Structure 1
């Protein structure tokens, strides 16, 4: 096999000339053989043609012999060349064996690509402890046995090697934390990548290189992070000069970039601060303090931390200007709260985490009558309790130590603790002890003496009311939310003709309805009562009406919701009054028509007055403008009087129109959801100038949680303005008008009180009548009439309380209306 492999290339190298000679030799052997066959046959006869032919044959034979001799000589040369080629092949095989033995080293593996589309050829192996697989396909899946970061870099480098002939040298890390060196080269149009398992020194060097790369990456990430934060950060060399700053530092020193800030040595901190940092900071103890500096023209406070190291120092500055402002605001707030608590009527005492007294108000000192010197030395809580017990001011206890320990256990409690203290002096206190978030306890003492007394009086009152109801001429029945009767008086049973057993407590309203059908043959009435009493509606409306019984009685009934979801039915015998009412119907109808005629007249006249009044006000304003010429002092005074009087007259006309529209029944309330806190702020702002002109001060007493209600905001604002304006008219100069607001369920209750001369009792009942004015500054007398009309439109009530020489108080109660459907949809 080796001979054929060797001779064929040798013959091929001789070329076409050697082939021609070989064919000539073959022809010579053929001709000689033919002559040998012809000569014996023709030996006896020789002609001229035969002689010629024989001569030709002799020449051919001679040429053939010469060619044979030359062929033999060439064959010897070929055999010599073949022997030389065999020797070269043997040497090449030996070198190949040596190279294969070298490549087959267990510490390296070579991957060869002959072209972009050729499959890779792998030579050699890597140690098993490196985690490199022995299978060729698994070995080329680098992501399976090389760490992700190293695998990504390796694949990118191999791609660049095969496509762009770009050499590389990498140190990669396997999944078993072993280090390999990968070298990529291109030679003879082939791409080679050699993987080498490193020895100890080289492996250590490679690990150091990996660690160096990781540290560089971490440092770049750290610098990127520091550039992203808005806190100035800097790094200094051993000579104290800046070597690196972040973006926030460059922005603080107004440098275009960080390189400029470092190159120009722009300092954030003043020289004195830097010298202080250099003198205070040590290798073991970094500098940490508040430093003041100027940033963009503003004084700024920084919390600076500067740490020293062998390579220099590094620092960071945290802007605490906002924190300082908040701290100052907190101190002011705490001081304000302390002043507020000091004016409260409720006793309050605050103890810190060490159970020592930190704050007490005047009510606390007055309640326990403790010496101020004792309180000012900040005694602990237990000492205060002992002092109160020694003075006989605390409830007597069988086991004082146990009671005191329970009282002081609030310092370890999570929730507020409350207790009732019945003092020897007859007072009853509800004591609240609340643990503070920053440590300590706040003690609040609520005096319940009046409340207990009120409860006692209330129970007595309930008993009295029970006796009173039993002796009323009106029929009264109270039903619970379950529709069962709770109580009824004898008048109720007499009106409906039922016995006490049929109306005993606990009887359902259905049974009452059946019993009452004897006297009232229309069941719709009692069914209506049943629906109202047993319905689950959030709003339980009251209802009134008239019933006529078979017995001839005419009853005025009322369905009144009571607290705790109870309902009261009242029946009043109005038979006589109805008869009188029917007799007076015709006279009342005549009076109604006359009143309607009056309202129409007032409405028409008011509308006719508005147009000329508007013109007068407009022309008075034009006269004040410089464009129409300057007015002398008297003319300006007259124009002001015209404008003031016209505005007052227009207000009166508008009031009359409002009352006329109310009387006509055409007023439509624009109901909306109102924030009462914002509403009161708006009222105070709107009335500020008016109250200043009158020389009075408005004081609003309202809790923070007034919440919201549904009402006509414009009409409600008119109510407040009329009441406050009326109070300002009668209040003396320098006095205070008080606006008190509160909520009772869904009702909004507010009152306006002044310290004016008051209203005489003989005219107090007529203050809500129209055109009723009292006093020199009373106005047209329409304000309270409008208030009563608008409150009534909201289904509310108005009451007035006044005494001569003590001022006047007007109180309004307005229930929250149902939310309009459009508002609910929104």
Structure 2
């Protein structure tokens, strides 16, 4: 109210100021010209303006004061009215609070702002409702769960969606409270009213009704969810309710359709029987057969009588009937199976009387079928067998029989061996039944015992055989423990029989054998192989060398029964012989390398002085060195000839050493064969004239060209011609025949010499091999060796044909190559 008053005063002041200024302007305009003229004469213009402003301000102030006094009176009147209205409103609020704040109701008010709710009124303490505001909204603490959850949900919808509600809730003490939820003036109200007398009883009945309806709905939903048909009938026997399983059983789409059409699951006779026999104290219970979905089905039907009619349920017993029939068939099948077994079987009931026996049982004991079909007792059966002399004799028959029949009181299976007088051995297995009786099984062990004796004999024979083997043998199981070992195994590894006895683990064997073997990884590998779980275990072989010098060949062999056999063979003598041969071979190889190094070194060292000798000899023959007498000239000729021969030998040896070292290079180039033959003929002319032998070259006019090493090809021809000249008699002719064959260059040199004996043909291409007497000059025997080496480098072939007294023919075949260069192989 004070703020409104201040706003009014400000507005009045502004209005009065405007009015004063307007009045002052009007008065100034109304003055006539005479007054202005007098003022102009009495005051100056500036004084006149100042005086005018002063008068206007004083007039405006007086007017404003008068107006403010009048408005003040009006405002005081309004204030008095507001005070009166406020007092009346407070009185009304006090009356309302007095009406609300009783002990039978409580109101909770929620603002839109989300602040804490306001509480008005209280509820009686005997209802169990907390008095504190902070505990009141914790509904789960003082309300039953069936009331707290719906109330919380209703309040949430009231505040969020303005949805009103009316609920009846129940406290933990069983008191009933009515709750009303409303929205008004933008606020949410929840009114809690404690009920009493008739109203409370009505509310309690309503709660009980809801509880009963909920229970009925729960049971109805339960019956609807089960697979067993259920129904209710009225006093006239008509259906009034069925579940879904019932509707399915009678081929109805819905349960309501089954009720409307009165589709019956039970036949008329069964329904009449139920109505006639069922009473509230004794419900009807029987197994019936009916057709459901075209199939014969068995039901266990239970129907109870009620004051309003009856209710029933049908439990499907088709599986039980099927199982019962299947059990009958199974028992019959088992009986037939046992009857065809070769093992005798007898089954006695709880009274120890024979209920079943198979044919093997009858054959074993040779009993009369009439006697067996009479179902004799077990004691009677034993007495019958003893009197027939078919059971083993006992010192105390009574005690033995009591022990045998004690199986009917035993919890575990009993097993015994019976040695019959006819030589058979039976294992008797007697098993008591939980519901009484026992089953006797008679297993014939005669063949098994015989086989076991044979097996033991075989094991002994195998043991003796393994013990006398020179090869060390040890067998380990899958668990890594040794099964057997022979003396040879223990002798090779220098271990005792106690250290390798059966049952010892391979780790302990490894620890003992490690003293004889500098690399224990071998035995560790054996252990890993023996104890591994790999599906496939391939055999393994290797060699071990012991510190004692023994060399052992070992083999790890997996056996079919998951065992592993280790075998060790002493290979010391063989290894020593092998090592000796290897050492000798290495010595020969080094000697051959030393020879080649020596030949190559000496050849290079001899070539330099020989070159000097030949050079100085040729120099002495020149006229510039002076005249030589006949003897000196002859000596110089011998020196020159010998030096040339020696240089040729050294060159040949160097060539062979180069070939053996594999470092000779062939310089392939295209060669004109006609020019090659002319060059060779010119170089051999002096030798032909010296020996008095002529050369005949037989070749086509145009031999063409070949890709080969020119120097080595000419050297081959010269060696063959020189060799032919050396062994040809004076006045004879040497024939050089050349031709082309499939691109290859084929040539042969034939002489008319003495030929080569047959025993020397295999060695003519060997180095330093001579043909003995018959040649003019005795050489080093390297000519044909060099020819063969050079032809082989060209990937060609050399053949020799010679007969004593008929001369010799050497034929060479040189292929043409495309590559420009090749490195010789050894």
What's the TM-score once normalised by structure 1's chain length? 0.47
